[in-house]
């Protein structure tokens, strides 16, 4: 049999929910129909995408690899359908956190002035590639090393690192801090889209206490609530000032690269214009 878009949508619903029951509810189908559609997809591809037992469902390695490809196909199809319904073809710019930092407003306003026929939609997506690998956006502002296959990156600038602290923390009064100053503190680590790991510290001087969070909002809440301190870049300080938060320069950590990433191959025709403007604004 031939594979249809409904097979991709069914598989993605299962991949997102890790449940045939919840996938069926999302798709407004019966559970047998979802199971049958998944089986048809696996039989046609001749590969097992999902491992199921009575109480457990998980994607196989092939399923994990296929998920991004299926998401790209569905996103491209949905995007093509909307093309004729909009006055312009929007350019979707993703970011995992802090966008273009203090330059965000300038970037958006300059784009609107210079390319009024193409809306620029800025989307925060809590994902290491800000939705780019899955086809949710056309380009993305990303920080740190980007090693996702099929992506092309253009370096725009670098950003110094800073320490995020509760405003009433004794360290917040210092003009600058070092990694050693944080060794006895609990560190908030964004394991979904962040770039800070314990590898930032020397192996023999790493903090022993961490908490794991999944996005910038939770990172700020953990710090302002006094549960932890964190390491980020000056972009976060510019985008997320908070009366209960202090940002102090971190002197002995390397700066962070900021890149504009896009998928290899054909893409939105205005991406070169976005790259040029981002260089002009952020360099």
pLDDT number for residue 265: 77
Task: Find out whether 233 and 240 touch, Cβ atoms under 8 Å.
Answer: no
- φ and ψ of 50, to 5 deg: -135, 135
SS3 157: strand
SS3 84: coil
pLDDT tens track for 95-109: 999 999 999 999 999
In Å, how far are 66, 69, 269, 275 from 76, measured between CA atoms?
15, 11, 15, 22
Alpha helices in 167-256, H assignment, sequence order: 216-224, 234-239
pLDDT number for residue 71: 84
Tell me the pTM.
0.74
pLDDT number for residue 2: 82
Residue with tokens 């991709």: 8
Number of H helices, E strands in the chain: 8, 12
pLDDT number for residue 88: 65
Residue segments in the chain with a per-residue pLDDT below the cut of 70: 1, 54, 82-88
For residue 46, is it left (φ>0), alpha (ψ between -120 and 50) or beta?
left
Strands (E), 65-108: 91-95
pLDDT number for residue 82: 63
pLDDT tens track for 160-187: 999 999 999 999 999 999 999 999 999 9
């Amino acid at each position: 049999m031939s594979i249809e878009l409904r097979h991709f949508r069914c598989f993605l619903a299962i991949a997102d929910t890790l449940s045939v029951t919840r996938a069926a509810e999302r798709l407004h189908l019966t559970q047998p129909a979802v199971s049958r559609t998944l089986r048809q997809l696996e039989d046609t591809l001749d590969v097992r995408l999902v491992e199921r037992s009575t109480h457990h469902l998980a994607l196989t390695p092939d399923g994990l690899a296929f998920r991004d490809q299926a998401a790209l196909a569905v996103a491209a199809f949905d995007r093509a359908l909307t093309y004729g319904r909009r006055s312009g073809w929007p350019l979707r710019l993703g970011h995992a956190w802090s966008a273009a930092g203090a330059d965000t407003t300038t970037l958006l306003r300059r784009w609107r002035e210079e390319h009024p026929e193409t809306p620029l939609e800025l989307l925060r997506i809590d994902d290491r590639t800000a939705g780019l690998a899955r086809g949710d956006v056309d380009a993305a502002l990303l920080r740190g090393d980007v090693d996702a296959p099929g992506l092309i990156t253009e370096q725009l600038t670098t950003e110094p690192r800073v320490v995020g602290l509760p405003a009433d923390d004794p360290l917040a009064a210092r003009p600058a801090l070092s990694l050693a100053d944080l060794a006895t503190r609990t560190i908030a680590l964004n394991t979904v889209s962040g770039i800070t790991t314990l590898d930032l510290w020397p192996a023999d001087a790493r903090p022993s206490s961490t908490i794991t969070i999944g996005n910038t909002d939770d990172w700020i809440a953990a710090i302002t609530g006094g549960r932890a301190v964190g390491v980020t870049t000056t972009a976060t300080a510019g985008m997320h000032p908070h009366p209960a938060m202090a940002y102090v320069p971190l002197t002995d950590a390397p700066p962070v690269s900021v890149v504009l990433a896009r998928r290899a191959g054909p893409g939105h025709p205005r991406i070169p214009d976005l790259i040029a403007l981002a260089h002009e604004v952020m360099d």
